[in-house]
A and B are shown apart, each in its own frame.
Chain A
Amino acid sequence: MSTIRQLVVPAKHDQLAQIASFVAHGAEEAGFEEGLVNRIELAVDEACSNIIDHAYEGTMGFIQLEVTVEVRGSLKIILIDQGHSFDPNEVPVYKPCQTLDNARIGGLGLHLMRQAMDDICFEFNVPGLGNRLTMVKYL
């Protein structure tokens, strides 16, 4: 049996804590331990920060979240926005470095999202919807 919850917030940085709390509640309900709850929060935080900074570029917009909880099974998170699309393949691939000199900051957020979640799927300009990001974490 699954539970679906939805939240719509303005695409602003001051909404990140509320988004994190909403997602953490679902992750805990699904049965994830604290460390993984933190990672799931992180993935959603990075995704929402990207939407705010790059999709909407600081202009007014909204982020719609849908969290599907499968107790003792998985957590699926869908983020929908109506901002600019982007090509994830053009984002620099972050590579952890051993020295400060060659450490690159670009692509850090996307790297964290991929590290934290099991599945990530970007869809852009979906008719009647906008951009949709689906992320899944399995228990």
Chain B
Amino acid sequence: MIATLNVRESSFAPVAPDGEAPRKPIPVLTVAGRLDASTVNILERALMRALMQGTKAVIIDAGEITYISSSGLRVMLTARRQVRERGGDIILCALSPNVRDVMNMVGFTALFTVHESLDSARNAAARIK
């Protein structure tokens, strides 16, 4: 039995208000499967690619993450520190009960911006300039 994790990388372009320059596309990582020490490098690489795009916001759609260990938490915390250095944010959405429970156990729900739905996360990301 081998753990599987899939990360689908997409993006959306927020509409810039009239008179403002076009906004950079915002990366969305849709993560599905088991996020443990054996699979975390898949998310880590996807996050690096997203951060290299230079945007201030990255959305992680966590609705299909069935399991997360401290390995996954570390990678997300490290990425959030990097994006915060440029005044941005990593936005998590649609946490499953198990993921939310683990994040609560270590106080990470207070550190991260968490939204209930992808639509809500996209709206929040679009407001980051």
Contacts and interface: CB of A to CB of B under 8 A. Distances in A.
A11 to B, nearest CB: 12
A133 interface: no
Contacts of B34: 17, 20
Nearest to A48: B37
B106 A16 contact: no
Q: Give the interface residue-count category, chain B.
A: 20 to 34
B125 to A, nearest CB: 18
Given A17-B38, A49-B37, A108-B73, A94 B106 contact: yes
A14 B38 contact: yes
A105 interface: yes
A17 B74 contact: no
A92 interface: no
A88 to B, nearest CB: 16
B67 A38 contact: yes
Interface string A10-30: 000110111011000000000
A41 to B, nearest CB: 7
Nearest to A114: B105
Contact of B36 (A45, A97, A105, A108): A45
Interface residues of A, number: 32
A35 B98 contact: yes
A100 B37 contact: no
Nearest to B84: A100
Most buried by A among B84, B97, B106: B106
Judged by DSSP, the binding face of A is helix
B2 to A, nearest CB: 6
Contacts of A34: 98
Given A103-B111, A108-B106, A46 B81 contact: no
B83 to A, nearest CB: 10
Contact of B97 (A35, A41, A98): A35
Nearest to A115: B105
A52 B74 CA distance: 17
Given A13-B38, A99-B111, A112 B98 contact: no
19 contacts: A14-B38, A20-B36, A34-B98, A38-B101, A38-B102, A41-B67, A42-B67, A45-B37, A45-B69, A49-B36, A49-B69, A94-B106, A96-B106, A96-B107, A98-B111, A103-B111, A108-B74, A111-B105, A112-B69
Nearest 3 pairs between A and B by C-beta?
Answer: A96-B107, A17-B3, A13-B38
